[in-house]
Amino acid sequence: MQSHRRLRACEEIKRVCEEIGHAGPIGILTHCNAGPLATSEYGTALGPVLLGSEQGVEFKVFADETRPLLQGARLTTYELQKAGVDVTLICDNMASTVMKQGLVQAVFVGCDRVAANGDTANKIGTSAAAILAKHYGIPFYVLGPSSSIDMDCATGEDIPIEERDPEEIRSKFYEKPVAPEGVRCFNPSFDVTDAELITAIITEKGVFRYPYSDSLTVFSK
């Protein structure tokens, strides 16, 4: 039943894809990993891409590498390539360029926690992608299970953000450290995307739109 509702929620994205459809593939940008490896089955943010591809929709996905742990590079590209989806890996700071060139028609991301007003915590860098999407007039979708919505959390300011080991920035994945020894590092795991930047929040229980302080009240106890 959970799987059926999740796939049904993907119909919203399919509808959007049909509206923005043109001669050639539909450009999608995604950040971090929210595919089968992270959430099972079709995943959340990658669900519409994987499901749509099975049904003949042609996508061209730009996957942010997602520094500093590189979930996009290590996991998202693997899942999409394995599924036969056209995927291109880009550095996080290249997102603006592909958007400006008109190569992206929508942004799909997952979520770790959604506040009652729609502010959404996700992997660090998600907020930047949302701001860029807003600037270029690109719809920005958050996909996740309804269990991520916390109606006891009023706004994103109430979401605690973990700060992780500085060595993830200085030396992880590198043969030699890339920064001077002892340099101060700031390494938050997540950031919060403001609700007004989000086109829709899509869960297995439906599609919710701004103002989320109204639409998300269905989750109130």
Instruction: Give yes or no for a contact between 186 and 180, defined as CB atoms under 8 angstroms apart.
Output: no
How many residues does the structure list for the chain? 221
Q: Which of 99, 97, 104, 120 is nearest to 44 (CA)?
A: 120
Kindly calculate the radius of gyration of the chain based on its CA atoms and give it in whole angstroms: 17
Task: Point out the residues that are catalytic.
Answer: 112
Instruction: Give yes or no for a contact between 98 and 61, defined as CB atoms under 8 angstroms apart.
Output: no
DSSP secondary-structure letter at 188? B
Residue carrying the six token digits 């770790």: 112
Instruction: Give yes or no for a contact between 6 and 47, defined as CB atoms under 8 angstroms apart.
Output: yes
How many Cβ atoms are within 10 Å of 96's Cβ, its own excluded?
17
